[in-house]
Amino acid sequence: MQDKEDTCSSANPIIVTSQNEKTTLLGTTKQDYASILRWMSFANTDLLTRLATWYLPLLGSMPYNKKTVEDNAAASRTALKVLETHLTANTFLVGERITLADIFTAGIIRRAFATVLDKKFRSEFVALTRWFNTVVNQGYWKDVIPEATFVEEAIKYTPPKKEEKPKKEAPKPAAKEEEEEEPDVKPEVKAKHPLEALGKPTLILDEWKRQYSNNDTRPVAMPWFWQNYKPEEYSLWLVDYKYNDELKLTFMANNLIGGFFARLEGSRKYLFGAASVYGENYKCLIRGAFLVRGQEHIPAFDVAPDWESYEFKKLDHTNEEDRKLVEDLWAWDVPVVREGKEWPHVDGHVFK
């Protein structure tokens, strides 16, 4: 899950794990699955980069800047505190048994325990350390990594020694090599996106994305959109997260949106939309609106493995309430109303 470059993707483990129909690593309910994706997204977006940019400069694998390392160390502790708080009241990240969320997240922070999360840190983050020990002592983990490494004292930066430059030798004349004929290699044909069959639309999506990005949303961008919208080429969809009661901190909910958008990359040519978090910590929801090429949403959204965690409702551009809903969700300047209650806008992402 984690390579030597310290970059990873949460999509591949999900795909591999899902091949086993009897696995319990993806939870037993759709709510479990959604929570697993949320924690994996949190690990991939909030933990991975912060931890890596804390310890890699100390190892000499990245350029060292004292302030940057200190800032990333503080940011890492803040993110790890989220895990500590959750694991103080829960044995595992999701449910009562180990899931892919635990394995994936432990894989993200494994090298941090071996380099910077020292004995003093572990004495402060007791629940996190207990959980990590539980995960790394499972048989399937030990088959790959027999022993986990725990550093006693965090590593410190050591400036590299200056090496003496060897004296330059006069270049030798290059020997002539016979040119070898390269075999003909046929380029790999990429699978076409199903929406490509619809052909080129008259409303160019990139032009709308420029209008939205470069102009005020309500006074300029939205009038342009309604004037140029082609209902025979596109459709509008309201998107609601199904498991809002599982959401905790608003920034984690926003990270969930970011992870979902990252997994929609394969449909970027056919989608535009915005989704936001509304409410407050421990009482929030995710809602958004999308412009989709064609009249069905599934061909555009099923590139993301977690698309079924969302409900999709087709909107009518001739209905004033639906038009207002689209404008509100794209403008981010008013709360949403659900069940008679106002939920203030917190943060969001635009997919463009």
DSSP secondary structure letters along 27-68: -SSHHHHHHHHHHHHHIIIIIHHHHHHHHHHHHTSS---HHH
Type of residue found at 11: A
Specify the fold of 11-142.
Answer: Glutathione S-transferase Yfyf (Class Pi); Chain A, domain 2 (1.20.1050)
Same fold, 11-142 and 199-351: no
Please give the helix or strand (H or E) that residue 173 lies within, else none.
Answer: none
The pLDDT assigned to 238 comes to 98
Instruction: For tokens 């901190």, name the residue.
Output: 249
Return the domain boundaries, the chain: 11-142, 199-351
The neighbouring-strand residues paired with 288 are 239, 275
Instruction: Answer yes or no: are the C-beta atoms of 290 and 304 closer than 8 Å.
Output: no
> For tokens 């080129």, what's the residue?
200
> Given the DSSP bridges, would you call strands 234-241 and 310-315 parallel, antiparallel or unpaired?
antiparallel
What does each of the 352 residues of the chain score in pLDDT, given as a tens digit? 443 334 444 445 666 666 666 677 887 788 888 889 899 989 988 898 899 889 988 988 778 889 989 999 999 999 999 999 999 999 999 988 899 999 999 999 999 999 999 999 999 999 999 999 999 998 878 888 888 899 999 999 888 766 566 666 666 665 554 445 555 555 555 558 899 999 999 999 999 999 999 999 999 999 999 999 999 999 999 999 999 998 888 888 888 898 889 888 889 999 999 999 999 999 999 999 999 999 999 999 998 888 999 999 999 999 999 999 999 999 999 999 988 899 999 999 999 9
- The residue whose two tokens read 């635990």 is 102
Rounded to whole angstroms, how far apart are CA atoms 121 and 115? Answer: 11
What lies within 8 Å, CB to CB, of 121 at 6+ separation is 154
Read off the pTM: 0.53
Check residue 1 and give its pLDDT: 41
Measured CA to CA, the distance from residue 61 to residue 48 in angstroms comes to 15
Q: What is the DSSP string of 267-322?
A: GGGGEEEEEEEEEETTEEEEEEEEEEESS-SHHHHTTSTTGGGEEEEEE-TTSHHH
Class of domain 199-351: alpha beta
**Start-to-end C-alpha separation, the chain:** 28
d(CA 168, CA 207): 56
Q: 89: burial class by Cβ within 10 Å (0-12, 13-18, 19+)? A: exposed
Q: What radius of gyration, in Å, describes the C-alpha atoms of the chain? A: 25
Q: Which residues contact 23 (CB under 8 A, 6 or more apart)?
A: 17
Please count the CA atoms within 13 angstroms of the CA of 2 that sit on its side-chain side: 21
Nearest residue to 124 via CA among 83, 161, 65: 83
Burial class (CB in 10 A: 0-12, 13-18, 19+), 266: middle
3-state secondary structure (DSSP) of residue 334: coil
Contacts of 157 (CB under 8 A, 6+ apart): 57, 58, 64, 66, 69
Angle at alpha carbon of residue 263, lines to 257 and 269, rounded to 5°: 105
